[in-house]
Amino acid sequence: MELDFTKLDGLLPAVIQDATSGEVLMLGFMNADAYAATQASGEVTFFSRSRNKLWRKGEQSGHVLRVREILVDCDVDSLLIRVDAVGPGVCHEGYRSCFFRQLSAGGEAKVIAERAFDPNAVYGKDAR
Amino acid sequence: MELDFTKLDGLLPAVIQDATSGEVLMLGFMNADAYAATQASGEVTFFSRSRNKLWRKGEQSGHVLRVREILVDCDVDSLLIRVDAVGPGVCHEGYRSCFFRQLSAGGEAKVIAERAFDPNAVYGKDAR
């Protein structure tokens, strides 16, 4: 089966879900190299759009994402990766999930999670 | 809070999760109009990249996605929408989730779910 990397200029969205709790932890993008590195290493590797290079999640923080299974959608253009998340959380702002805010219809954002760790202690000023 | 629609030419990825079971059902894209329609109607509305127009999920099948809550990630460029999914499944191929295949490292795809409904009966030839 060939993944369809054509729709977003060589990238696919990859949803990261905690395999045990079912919590959605983050969404990242992969190019073909990042996907191959993820399959080969068993640790989630994204393509960083801001830094324009491969980014093994946790390479700085140690909060790596160990792959349990990789699922693909009907259109072969999105991935769902179920993981064991090492460490207290995946978010560079110190939360377990990057989805820690709820949006109201009026546009207000409300934080609905508690901080799981001190991001400054883990990432310093150079976040991620 | 302003969503960042700039990174994918006006689109954001939106992960759809069953609010009860935690199952990830699908991933779609929204532009600003689709997001506004989703907030206003309480039913998930995507921007269809293939048809280049707004697409209220379930407009043909009746399998609408009722919004329970909308979460936004740390970078304000991805959404996680927790829903009540009406009907037996969201996938135009007849599965409960669009993520019904598991990918091996060697590239083989294995169907890991059972068909939940007959897609021909629901969608006819004009899938979606």
pLDDT over threshold 60, residue A110 = yes
Q: Which residue has the tokens 């329609």?
A: B37
Residues A83-107 have a mean pLDDT of 96
- Report the pLDDT averaged over residues A38-46: 97
SS3 category, A29? strand
B127 has pLDDT over 60: no
Count Cβ neighbours within 10 Å for each residue of A96-110 and write b for 16 or more, e otherwise.
bbbbbbbbeeeeeee
- Supply the pLDDT for residue B125: 63
Beta carbons within 10 angstroms of residue B27's beta carbon:
24
What one-character DSSP code corresponds to residue A95?
-
pLDDT of residue B107: 87
The CA distance from A28 to A102, in Å, is: 19
- 3-class DSSP state for residue B36? helix
Question: Collapsing DSSP states into helix, strand and coil, what is residue A112?
Answer: coil
pLDDT at A124: 80
pLDDT digits over B91-121, tens only? 999 999 999 999 998 889 999 999 999 999 9
In whole angstroms, give the CA distance from residue B82 to residue A22. Answer: 12
Q: Are B29 and B46 in contact (CB under 8 A)?
A: yes
Q: Which DSSP symbol is given to A86?
A: P
Q: What is the mean pLDDT of residues A66-76?
A: 98
Q: What is the mean pLDDT of chain B?
A: 95
pLDDT at B26 over 80: yes
How long is chain A?
128
Distance CA A112, CA A87 (A): 20
pLDDT over threshold 90, residue A17: yes
Token match 């091996």: residue?
A: B104
Question: Do β-strands B109-111 and B101-103 pair in parallel, antiparallel, or remain unpaired?
Answer: antiparallel
Q: Percentage of residues in chain A with pLDDT exceeding 90? A: 88
Q: What is the ipTM of this complex?
A: 0.95
The predicted pLDDT at position B1 comes to 84
Nearest to A13 among B27, B49, B91 (CB): B27
Q: pTM of the prediction?
A: 0.96
| Most B-contacting residue of A41, A43, A81, A99 (CB-CB within 10 A), to test interface | A99
pLDDT tier for residue A32 given thresholds of 50, 70 and 90: very high
CB contact under 8 A, A27 and B15: yes
Model confidence pLDDT, tens digit, residues B27-53? 999 999 999 999 999 999 999 998 999
Cα separation, A92 vs A128, in Å, equals 5
Percent of chain B with pLDDT over 90: 88
Q: Residue A126: pLDDT band by 50, 70, 90 thresholds?
A: low
Task: Give the closest residue to A81 by CA, choosing from A7, A13, A9.
Answer: A13
Residues of chain B neighbouring A7 (CB-CB closer than 8 A): 49
For chain A, what is the mean pLDDT? 95
Q: Which residue of B has its CA nearest to A79?
A: B99
What percentage of chain B reaches a pLDDT higher than 70?
A: 97
Going by C-alpha positions, the residue among B53, B55, B15, B1 that lies closest to residue A105 is B1
pLDDT band for A125, please (50, 70, 90 cuts): low
Residue A123 has pLDDT above 90, yes or no: no
Question: Alpha helix (H) ranges present in A26-114?
Answer: 32-41
State the count of interchain CB pairs (< 8 A) between A and B: 103
The DSSP result for B61-128, as a single string, is TS--EEEEEEEE-TTSS-EEEEEEEPSS-S-TTS-SSS--EEEPTTS-EEE-S---S-HHHHHTTS--
Q: Tell how far CA A101 is from the center of its chain.
A: 16
More confident residue, A29 or A127: A29
